[in-house]
Amino acid sequence: MAGFQTKTFLKHDDYMTPKSAWENIAHLIPKDKIIWEAFYGDGKSGEYLTELGFDVIHRPIDFFENDLGDIIVSNPPFSKSKEIIKRLSELDKPFIIIMPSSKINTSYFRENFKNKGLQIIIPRKRIHFTKHIDGKPVEGWKNATCFDCFYYCYKMNFDNDIEWLL
């Protein structure tokens, strides 16, 4: 992220998932599975999924050293996409993850999920994340995300490979 006043670049992954992102796909998440919300953030994402009636494991533990639940439902840090996609491929368990739509064009995505039955849910509108710095919401942040995201899904067995949310 560029700071116009300072002309410096800050890189951080503190963009939290709004409850609406999970509400929009709740009808597509199996109710009979234990969800691992693998990236803790501010802890609210797991709370939102629990409020929606899911059985959720959501603790501040290392995704790369653990394998919990039946299905991963998460908004992982985008700066670690390459490593996360590789780990998801190794785990070979069902998932629904939120990532920028451009990730589908990366070589690492292709290498790890080509011909493996990846499915995509396309939101009706852009997901606007809540920005945090040092663990606290940024005051005055307009929640105006400037890029589109998809829900990338694996082993979900939807009727269609591309699900358009209406």
Report how many domains make up the chain. 1
* 2: in domain: no
Look at residue 90 and tell me if it is in a domain.
Answer: yes
Distance of CA 1 to the CA centre of its chain: 20
Burial of 90 (0-12, 13-18, 19+ CB in 10 A): exposed
Inside any domain, residue 139: yes
The SS3 assignment for 19 reads: helix
Q: Is residue 3 part of a domain?
A: no
Helix, strand, coil fractions of the chain, as percent rounded to 5: 25, 25, 50
Structural domain includes residue 158: yes
Q: Dump pLDDT digits (tens) for 66-110.
A: 999 999 999 999 889 999 999 999 999 999 999 999 999 999 999
Domain ranges, residue 144: 12-164
* Residue 9 confidence (pLDDT) above 50: no
The total of other beta-carbon atoms located within 10 Å of residue 99's CB is 21
The CATH number of the domain holding residue 24 is: 3.40.50.150
Q: How many CB atoms lie within 10 A of CB 121?
A: 20
Q: Is residue 7 part of a domain?
A: no
Q: Is residue 4 part of a domain?
A: no
In a domain, 47, yes or no: yes
Answer yes or no: is pLDDT of 8 > 70. no
Which pLDDT band, with edges at 50, 70 and 90, does 142 fall under?
Answer: low
Global pTM reads 0.89
